[in-house]
Amino acid sequence: MKIGIFGAGDVGGTLGKRWRQKGHEIMFGVRNLQSRNIQKLIQMDENFKVGDIREASTFGDVIVFAIPWTAVEETILSAGNLSGKILIDPTNPLTPDLKRLALDDISVAEKIAKLANTTAVVKAFNAIGARTLNNPIFDSDRADLFICGDDIHAKRVVEELATDIGFDVVDVGPLVNARMLEQLALLWIELAFRRQMGPNIGFKILRRKYEF
């Protein structure tokens, strides 16, 4: 699959590396083609493609917004026509102190859907850290990845991509529920840093058959 990733930081770089290991074609779309992050990724795998935002948008069948949430609108303007693309949103609209969400009545994923005029937006990869993205296996358990969206086909594609790199996927419903997943990211931050559990943590839903 051809995947365009906007941004090459911890999240974008890790996802690109993991998907490349599974045989997907990756292009990073960035503003600075000479950035340290890009140079590290190219040294890691010379098969990574690099271009500007529009080039990565044209390249990918799937597009990942691995950028600060405040850059979403500008990035969509730079990306050009996104119709027919599956858009993945791993961002969180956090306040500078990382204690609250900066958006009250809408999620970033819903904002992307409106700005790009598409229903094929999936919230995913936002309530975990880059270390878990790199390795979601905890002993014999696979970390859960929570996703939501309004387009069934888009969600199935994202589920396949997440399963490809080791996650169990939990579909939490329509895109409006992205607001819940952004709140879940606040819980992850609280546990990882303020409660000092560290960034090597993930969420897991345990299921039990109904007992009479």
Which alpha helices (H) appear in the chain, and where do they start and end?
10-21, 36-44, 53-59, 72-79, 108-116, 130-134, 152-164, 178-189
84 located within any domain: yes
Distance CA 101, CA 103 (A): 5
199 located within any domain: no
208 located within any domain: no
List the CATH number of the domain containing 45: 3.40.50.720
Distance CA 2, CA 61 (A): 5
68 located within any domain: yes
209 located within any domain: no
Distance CA 186, CA 190 (A): 6
Q: What's the pLDDT at 38?
A: 87
Taking the chain (212 residues) in runs of 10, the rounded mean pLDDT of each run is 95 95 94 84 83 96 97 96 96 95 96 97 96 92 97 98 98 98 97 94 90 66
Q: What's the pLDDT at 175?
A: 98
Distance CA 12, CA 31 (A): 14
Half-sphere exposure of 196 (CA within 13 A, CB side): 0
Domain interval for residue 140: 2-194
CB neighbour class for 160 (10 Å; exposed up to 12, middle 13-18, buried from 19)? exposed
79 located within any domain: yes
What's the token pair of residue 87?
């858009």
Domains contained in the chain, number: 1
- Which backbone phi and psi does 179 adopt, to 5 degrees? -60, -35
Q: What's the pLDDT at 206?
A: 92
CB neighbour class for 29 (10 Å; exposed up to 12, middle 13-18, buried from 19)? buried
210 located within any domain: no
Determine the Cα angle at 167 with ends 170 and 96, to 5°. Answer: 80
119 located within any domain: yes
Distance CA 144, CA 168 (A): 5
